[in-house]
Amino acid sequence: MLRFVVVLCLVYLNFGMGLDELYDLLGRDYITEQLPREFYDALKRRRRHKTLNINVKLLAAAFQKIGNTLVIASFGSDCSRFLCSDVIFVDMKANHSRDYILRKLIPKQPPVLQVSQATSVEAAGDNSCHLS
């Protein structure tokens, strides 16, 4: 059910269609019970007075709750209406390599600090860590 709701959100975001269907689904308990609570709560906040007000920031926040990042692909069009720090923008008309796009979509994790047996970590009272 989550995938279906996510697809409806994306259809609305891209084409401006399906908002009534999405509103209807989010009004049915047997549907919302199958969605992750944090995701549904993020969408539900904009469900008022028999309308649903969805924008890019709301969807980006809801997608973050389920561990996904909202990706907006454009074909050279102006995406300034989608300005949001939690969204990855990919211009498909730009001549980017496959590796560039993958690096943008899947950033490398920071290297894990290898701590040897001779090194200990002490927590200080100011919530910072000091290596000794």
> Which neighbouring-strand residues pair with 88?
71
Task: List residues bridging with 51 in a β-sheet.
Answer: 48
Q: What is residue 49's predicted lDDT score, i.e. its pLDDT?
A: 56
What does the chain come to in residues?
Answer: 132
| Backbone φ, ψ for residue 88 (5° rounding) | -100, 125
- Each domain of the chain, given as residue ranges in start order, spans 2-105
pTM (2 decimals)? 0.63
Question: Residue 132 is encoded by which pair of tokens?
Answer: 């000794």
Give the chain as a 3 state SS string: CHHHHHHHHHHHHHHCCCHHHHHHHHCCHHHHCCCCHHHHHHHHCCEECCEECCCHHHHHHHHHHCCCCEEEEECCCCCHHHCCCCEEEEECCCCCCHHHHHHHHCCCCCCCCCCCCCCCEEECCCCCEEEC
Per-residue pLDDT of the chain (132 residues; tens, 9 = 90+): 899 999 998 888 878 888 888 888 888 999 999 999 999 998 887 555 556 677 888 888 899 999 888 877 777 666 666 667 677 777 777 777 878 778 777 777 665 555 544 444 444 444 333 333
Q: What is the pLDDT of residue 34?
A: 94
pLDDT at res. 79: 61
